[in-house]
């Protein structure tokens, strides 16, 4: 498993954007290529990245050719695919999973005239490599609020993919906001150790339901957790990465949508006009990269109104999901009353907050 723990020092680099070397010249036409960890029909993570790729084509028409490869494993296969793409004339290549980080930088060294953009990573070892991410934890705060209000068993669940900071952020944000509105709530975490494997994701959801969980959030890529939730009356969940509208109005009562289109359109535009620069992007609701899909009528009107108020506050920059007082799992103080977590700590987060039981797998 390649997509692993971020070191805090490296994570600081992910969180802070900086300038680099710009493209030498503008391009009349460009080829934008995308490497996907799952199939574009996964209904979640890869589907949403592909919607961003299609937005690039719509924005630039004949000026941009797009190409992609699905279901590329994280590792040596990724390096081979990236090399083939660079040789095929791709001017910019977007690699859309954390485990592509080292292959991206390795291949970038061999093709300095090709631009590489890596999603959710922190390494920019060469001037032609940029990174981008989204503040998914903002969306987790909103669905955590809904979960805390709607659970009847006081047991909420979370399906984790791999124990990396991106996922730990989500677990903590989800639990903190459920706990704020429901002090009796408890959380169970099941690790699937995959990004996309519908059978494993379904098994994880089933395990949570068997523990008495009646609200499930997931940090994996398919609709399988919602499909499993639909089998048990009274269990609800949330769309992950894309809207997963097929499961409205319940069990899917809301969704976190990753909107990559603005970023992809912007970065390809910079390539075309010759102003592309190495950078690190970490946007969220204010930048439009994290959205909450329709909150359905299965959610009580007052809970919906509260969730919408939180969305508005996060979007306006007046509320940060990690605002103290917050303690770490062992009871030690982390954030004082009113103190907001810094990006470096969040980007390297490998601890649970107080109230979550169990250890983070090594």
pLDDT in tens, the chain (362 residues): 333 333 333 443 443 333 344 445 899 999 999 999 999 988 899 999 999 999 999 999 999 999 999 999 998 899 999 999 999 999 999 999 999 999 999 999 999 999 999 999 899 999 999 999 999 999 999 999 999 999 999 999 999 999 999 999 999 999 999 999 999 999 999 999 999 999 999 999 999 999 999 999 999 999 999 999 999 999 999 999 999 999 999 999 999 999 999 999 999 999 999 999 999 999 999 999 999 999 999 999 999 999 999 999 999 999 999 999 999 999 999 999 999 999 999 999 999 999 999 999 98
In our burial notation (b when 16+ CB lie closer than 10 A, e otherwise), range 46-71 reads bbbbbbbbebbbeebeeebbbebeee
Per-residue pLDDT, 24: 58
Question: Are 30 and 267 within 8 A, CB to CB?
Answer: no
CA–CA dist 110, 131 (Å, integer): 18
Specify the CATH number of the domain 8-134+259-283: 3.40.50.2300
Question: Are 236 and 253 within 8 A, CB to CB?
Answer: yes
Question: Are 216 and 188 within 8 A, CB to CB?
Answer: no
Per-residue pLDDT, 39: 94
Q: At what angle do helices 301-316 and 136-150 cross, to 10 degrees?
A: 160
In the three-class reduction of DSSP (H, G, I as helix; E, B as strand; rest coil), residue 12 is classed as helix
Helices (H), the chain: 8-15, 45-60, 76-87, 101-110, 136-150, 165-181, 198-210, 224-229, 261-273, 301-316, 343-347
According to DSSP, the β-strands at 290-292 and 280-283 are: unpaired
91-147: pLDDT as tens digits? 999 999 999 999 999 999 999 999 999 999 899 999 999 999 999 999 999 999 999
The number of C-alpha atoms within 13 Å of 302 and in the hemisphere containing its C-beta is 3
Q: Which residue ranges does the chain devote to CATH 3.40.50.2300?
A: 8-134+259-283, 136-257+290-347
Contacts of residue 299, defined as CB under 8 A and 6 or more positions apart, other chains included, come to: 146, 150, 253, 254, 307
Homologous superfamily (CATH) of 136-257+290-347 is Response regulator (3.40.50.2300)
């Amino acid at each position: 498993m390649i997509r692993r723990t971020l070191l805090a020092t490296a994570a600081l680099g992910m969180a802070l954007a900086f300038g680099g070397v710009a493209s030498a010249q503008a391009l009349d036409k460009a080829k934008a290529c995308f490497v996907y960890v799952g199939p574009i029909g996964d209904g979640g993570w890869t589907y949403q990245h592909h919607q961003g790729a299609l937005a690039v084509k719509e924005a630039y028409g004949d000026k941009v050719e797009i190409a992609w490869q699905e279901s590329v494993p994280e590792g040596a296969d990724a390096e081979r695919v990236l090399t083939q793409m660079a040789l095929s004339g791709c001017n910019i290549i977007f690699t859309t999973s954390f485990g592509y980080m080292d292959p991206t930088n390795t291949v970038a060294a061999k093709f300095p005239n090709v631009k590489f953009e890596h999603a959710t990573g922190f390494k920019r070892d060469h001037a032609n490599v940029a990174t981008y991410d989204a503040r998914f934890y903002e969306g987790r705060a909103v669905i955590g609020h809904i979960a805390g209000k709607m659970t009847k068993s006081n047991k909420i669940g979370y399906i984790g993919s791999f124990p990396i900071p991106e996922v730990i952020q989500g677990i903590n944000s989800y639990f903190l906001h459920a706990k704020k509105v429901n002090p009796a709530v408890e959380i169970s975490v099941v690790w699937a150790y995959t990004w996309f494997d519908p059978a494993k994701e379904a098994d994880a959801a089933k395990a949570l339901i068997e523990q008495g969980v009646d609200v499930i959030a997931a940090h994996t890529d398919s609709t399988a957790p919602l499909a499993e939730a639909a089998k048990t009356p009274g269990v609800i969940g949330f769309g992950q990465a894309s809207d997963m509208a097929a499961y409205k109005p319940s069990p899917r009562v809301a969704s976190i949508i990753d909107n990559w289109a603005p970023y992809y359109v912007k970065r390809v535009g910079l390539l075309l006009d010759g102003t592309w620069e190495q950078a690190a992007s970490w946007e969220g609701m204010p930048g439009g990269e994290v959205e909450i899909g329709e909150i359905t009528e299965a959610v009580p009107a007052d809970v919906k109104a509260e969730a919408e108020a939180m969305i508005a506050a996060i979007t306006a920059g007046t509320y940060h999901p990690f605002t103290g007082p917050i303690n770490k799992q062992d009871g030690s103080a982390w954030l004082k009353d009113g103190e907001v977590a810094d990006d470096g700590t969040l980007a390297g987060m490998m601890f649970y907050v107080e109230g979550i039981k169990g250890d983070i797998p090594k």
